[in-house]
Structure 1
Amino acid sequence: MNPRFAFVAAPLLVLAYGVIRILDGLDGSRGPGLAWTTGHLAFLAALALFVPIFWEMRRMAGRDALSTVSAVMGSVGILAASAQFVIDIVVGFLSADHAAMGVLFDRIQAVPGVSFAIYDGGPYLFYLGQLALVVQLAVIGRVKAWTPVLVLIDLVLPIVDRDFIPLGAIFLLVSFVPLARGIAPTAKPVAAHAARRAATHA
């Protein structure tokens, strides 16, 4: 997968999730239904794209121990968050209404370890890994100093109010666009070198 695509598509999918989530709540409750499922699928797709994003950021940071730990931490967080969203989708399919969803969620979270691993603890590794990678890139001068600030705003806004997820996604997109552009110069020399080798052996 082209990492440049991931850097742009992931924030847009988070934006889509945030907007769909708001629309789903206009009737006073969220889920089950098409909006619930569609929104969660959009965020799952975004999480999948964050895997190549984290490892590309690790490459940009020099593949050192710190960036490796951050990328691994973020990837573990992705697994936890993905598990949460898969559970949400399954619960939505199995429930006749919002009240029934609440009963199923209570049963799932009552399983020892599930609440912390999938809801209260694990997913935060995704956000910590993301922020750590961006901060490291800023320290070594690969991104502007304001980039971690935008990423931090994106992470904080949903804590203040989850209806701010679309706004946070816009901040994330603005912070990721320079990263996507920064990948292009690394691709051109490789292509040029390959062309020269082909010409030499022709």
Structure 2
Amino acid sequence: MKAPGTLLISAPLLFSAYGVIRLFGLADGHYGPGVDWQAAHIVGLVGIVLFIPAVLGMERMLPQGNWRTGTVIVTLVGLATTIVQFGADIVFALQAENEADMSRLSHDFSAIPGVRLTFYMVGPPLFFLGLIVLSVLLVRAGRLPWWSPVVLAFSTVLPMLTLDLIPLAGLGILASVLPLRSPADECDAMLRAPR
């Protein structure tokens, strides 16, 4: 499979789809426990899970080194905490009869010592930070153009401004990784180059 491959395309697209479904859910004035909430979060969860093999694929495009290993570990930790957050939201929506119930369950969970810090404040941003650093390393390795980390950084900031920008953030992440070249592409280019 040539880079960026199906996973690097589908993961950010599903992240965008999560944002789009969320916006449709908000449009009717009732976005809480129900079909729209669950659909959005399940799609988002699948997208986040698909980032795991995508990140591991990006790792294989880099030369070995401490920066590569450390960045991948940080990114995977961020992904794991994000998966817990999405999973918790899905479970709470299944248990709740209304938005007040869901808010109470979410509050009870985040009130557990260390949960809010780990799974909401520090953990998930590590995923985005790791992606940005990975893209910088890929630029240094000649796999991505200089502008990819810029687009990626801008895209990851958008949801922090408002969750309504999640669809654009996903598309920005997609745009930043699309230029990835596969080793096969490079070999072909070398064979075609004049000697």
What is the TM-score of this pair, normalised by structure 1? 0.86
Identity %: 36
- Choose 43-52 or 4-13, whichever is displaced more: 43-52
Partner residue, 1:59: 60
Deviations 1:85-142 (CA, angstroms, capped at 9, x unpaired) = 0000000001111111111111111111111111111111111111110011112322
Matches within 5 A, 1:30-41: 30-41=31-42
Larger % of helix: which?
Answer: 1
1:169 is displaced (CA, Å) by: 1.3
Q: Which residue of 1 aligns with 2:73?
A: 72
The alignment of Structure 1 onto Structure 2 pairs a total of residues equal to 187
More divergent stretch after superposition (47-56 vs 7-16): 47-56
Q: Which amino acid aligns with 2:78?
A: G
Q: Tell me whether 87-96 or 54-63 shows the greater mean CA deviation.
A: 54-63
Tell me which residue corresponds to 1:115.
116
Q: TM-score, normalised by structure 2?
A: 0.89
Pick closer, same or farther for the CA change 1:25–1:123 going to 2, 3 Å.
Answer: same
Q: Residue in 2 aligned with 1:200?
A: none
- SS of alignment partner, residue 66 of structure 1: helix
Query: Unmatched 5+ residue regions in structure 2?
Result: 189-195
Question: How has the CA–CA distance of structure 1 residues 184 and 8 changed in structure 2, closer, same or farther, with 3 Å as cutoff?
Answer: farther
Matched AA of 1:40:
H
Following superposition, the deviation at residue 183 of structure 1 comes to 2.2
Q: Helix, strand or coil: the match of 1:25?
A: helix
Contact 1:4/1:183, CA 8 A, preserved across alignment: no
Once residues 183 and 21 of structure 2 are traced to their aligned partners in structure 1, the CA distance between those partners, rounded to angstroms, is 32
Paired with 1:40 and 1:125, the residues of 2 have a C-alpha distance of: 20
* Alpha-carbon RMSD: 1.9
Amino acid at match of 1:171: G
Contact 2:52 2:76 in 1 (8 A): yes
